[in-house]
């Protein structure tokens, strides 16, 4: 669970997923889901260490029978990427390239160099020569 600041005030544990997409009418829409254990009458902003989401309009609340999670589905007016944006090779990242290398080394340590995560069974065994 991430630390999420709600309405610029309270920091709670939760999860946020956000989608930004272009419609057929060439408009950008932003929508997403926020999950936490706390009930809110109104949510206007969500802020994680990576994103600031503003202009939130919650259109649906979902409750489960076997847990305390509440899922808020919402539309938003804006999303901003927080942190230091480093432009390198035509891309932007919110972490420095060395930190990204460390993160990716952990995330993809078992991936095959060509096949990705589906390549574990085809991965070269240490010490084998596959010429």
71 contacts 39 by C-beta, under 8 angstroms: no
For 57-74, what is each residue's pLDDT tens digit?
999 999 988 888 999 999
Distance CA 92, CA 77 (A): 22
Residue 124 has pLDDT above 80, yes or no: no
Q: Residue 100 corresponds to which tokens in the numbers above?
A: 């990204």
Q: What is the pLDDT of residue 113?
A: 61
Distance CA 115, CA 127 (A): 20
Residue-wise DSSP of 34-94: EEESS--S----EE-SSEEEES-EEEEEEE-SSS--EEEEEEESEEEE-S--EEETTEEES
What's the pLDDT band for 127 if we cut at 50, 70, 90? very low
Task: Check residues 106 and 20 and name the one with the higher pLDDT.
Answer: 20
**Predicted TM-score of the model (pTM):** 0.68
């Amino acid at each position: 669970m991430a630390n999420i600041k709600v309405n610029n005030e309270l920091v709670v544990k939760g999860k946020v997923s956000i989608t930004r997409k272009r419609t057929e009418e060439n408009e950008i829409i932003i929508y997403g889901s926020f999950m936490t254990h706390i009930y809110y009458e109104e949510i206007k902003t969500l802020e994680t260490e990576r994103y600031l989401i503003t202009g939130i309009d919650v259109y649906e609340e979902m409750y489960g029978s076997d847990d305390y999670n509440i899922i808020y589905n919402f539309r938003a007016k804006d999303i901003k990427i927080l942190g230091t944006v480093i432009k390198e090779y035509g891309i932007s990242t919110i972490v420095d390239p060395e930190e990204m290398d460390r993160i990716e080394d952990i995330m993809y340590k078992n991936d095959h160099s060509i096949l990705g995560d589906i390549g574990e069974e085809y991965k070269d065994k240490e010490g084998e020569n596959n010429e």
